[in-house]
Amino acid sequence: MNIGKQIKSLRLKKNVKQDELADYLGVSYQAVSKWETEMSVPDISLLPNISAYFGVTIDELFQMPNEAEFERIENMFWSERRIKKETFEHAVHFLEEVIKDEPSNVRAYENLADLYNHRAHSDHELASEYAKKVLELEPTNKGGFVAFLEANGGVCGDEWYDNNFTVIEYFKEFLKKNPKSYRGLYVIIENLLNDRRYDEAIPYIEELKIVNSNHQYYIYMGDVAYGNGNFEEALKLWNEAVGEYPSTWQAYCSRADRFKKIGKINEALEDYEYCFKMQEHPRITDGLFSLAQLHETMGDYNAAIEDRKEIIKCLKEDYKVTSGNSIDEHRREIERLKSLIIQEKEA
């Protein structure tokens, strides 16, 4: 029973003192203090008045255990396209209370980061729709272009805006404190390569090979070669990644990403399909996402629909996800693709 913690949480949210609540209930403030520190619990006859005071049901006074509340929040990231304001604020309040009691609770910090990122993503979806309306009504409107690009992570063409300087500088310092961090190395390499700072990336790629020797060394060195204009060397290294690690599905997926960028579409399709088939359960759907995008780019909308259906099937079979936004987003895409087929036939 966590009724004491719930009373404290509701009292703080309402911004009232213990003695104010005590006066309303006709008890001493010491009694309220004991409830909140779980030294005692309120008499059952007081529950209707407590629930009325805070505007909640009696059931809501018996707060879920922390583990259940964490799971509820984490499930929202999968199931909710847009989290309601009240639900969002409740989750933030819960997580901040956890951090007050446990300042080193990593899960609470991670949930807060995911919560705000989820809201940012859903806000960007809305911003994108509004920006498209601007461009529909006024195709020359600069603000509409800027808003749409920002909402969708598009490239503006201004170096100061498009670069990843802040991320790179953060992870330079991060790696000084955590020199053998695989994820830290992975992030700084990806961002350096994206900013075309190829020579700067090489020492980190060499370090990555020491920390975790796998296909990525060949993939990244191929990226450096490609960026420096040595296309034949790049292709040789990307192929070497698969040749050295033929049982690693990620090697095929990474090579497919490169094939796609250099216009080797059929080779990319083959790699994406193969990397999904060779996975053990639970499977990752990255390759299927890329397949859907490639097929749509090629104008093969029926194939893109089948890719989306395969993602839904994978989520159901491997993750037991049968509803919520993670399923609905693909259903929305399927409907959009069907409308493109109809438009194509009518043209």
pLDDT for position 64: 61
Instruction: Show which of 61, 77, 104 is a domain's final residue.
Output: 61
Residues 57 and 169 in one domain: no
Q: What is the CATH number of the domain that holds 189?
A: 1.25.40.10
What is d(CA 22, CA 32) in angstroms, rounded to the nearest whole number? 6
Instruction: Show which of 13, 40, 61 is a domain's final residue.
Output: 61
Minimal CA–CA distance to 171: which of 189, 152, 158?
Answer: 189
Q: Please, are residues 141 and 168 in contact by the beta-carbon 8 Å criterion?
A: no
Assigned domain for 193 exists? yes
Transcribe 247-263 into DSSP letters: T-HHHHHHHHHHHHHTT
Nearby residues of 79 by Cβ (< 8 Å), 6 or more positions away: 323, 324, 325, 326
Minimal CA–CA distance to 331: which of 317, 321, 319, 318?
Answer: 321
Per-residue pLDDT of the chain (347 residues; tens, 9 = 90+): 578 878 887 888 788 899 999 999 999 989 999 998 888 999 999 999 999 998 888 877 876 667 778 888 999 998 999 999 999 998 999 999 899 989 999 999 999 999 999 999 999 999 999 999 999 999 999 999 999 999 999 998 888 889 999 999 999 999 999 999 999 999 999 999 999 999 999 999 999 999 999 999 999 999 999 999 999 999 999 999 999 999 999 999 999 999 999 999 999 999 999 999 999 999 999 999 999 999 999 999 999 999 999 999 999 999 999 999 999 999 999 999 999 999 999 98
Lookup result for tokens 């006074």:
61
Assigned domain for 173 exists? yes
Residues 42 and 172 in one domain: no
Number of domains in the chain: 2
Q: Please, are residues 249 and 271 in contact by the beta-carbon 8 Å criterion?
A: no
Assigned domain for 284 exists? yes
Minimal CA–CA distance to 254: which of 266, 241, 273, 244?
Answer: 241
pLDDT for position 55: 87
Output the pTM of the full model: 0.80
Residues 183 and 304 in one domain: yes
Q: What is the CATH number of the domain that holds 29?
A: 1.10.260.40
Assigned domain for 99 exists? no
Instruction: Report residue 247 CA to chain centroid gap.
Output: 28
Range of the domain at 46: 3-61
Distance set, CA 144 to CA 110, 127, 130, 136, 141 (Å) = 33, 10, 8, 9, 5
Residues 330 and 189 in one domain: yes
pLDDT for position 166: 96
Assigned domain for 97 exists? no
Instruction: Report residue 60 CA to chain centroid gap.
Output: 30
Distance set, CA 298 to CA 124, 245, 272, 333 (Å) = 27, 30, 15, 16
Assigned domain for 340 exists? yes
Lookup result for tokens 């805006």:
161
pLDDT for position 135: 97
Assigned domain for 185 exists? yes
Residues 199 and 308 in one domain: yes
pLDDT for position 63: 66
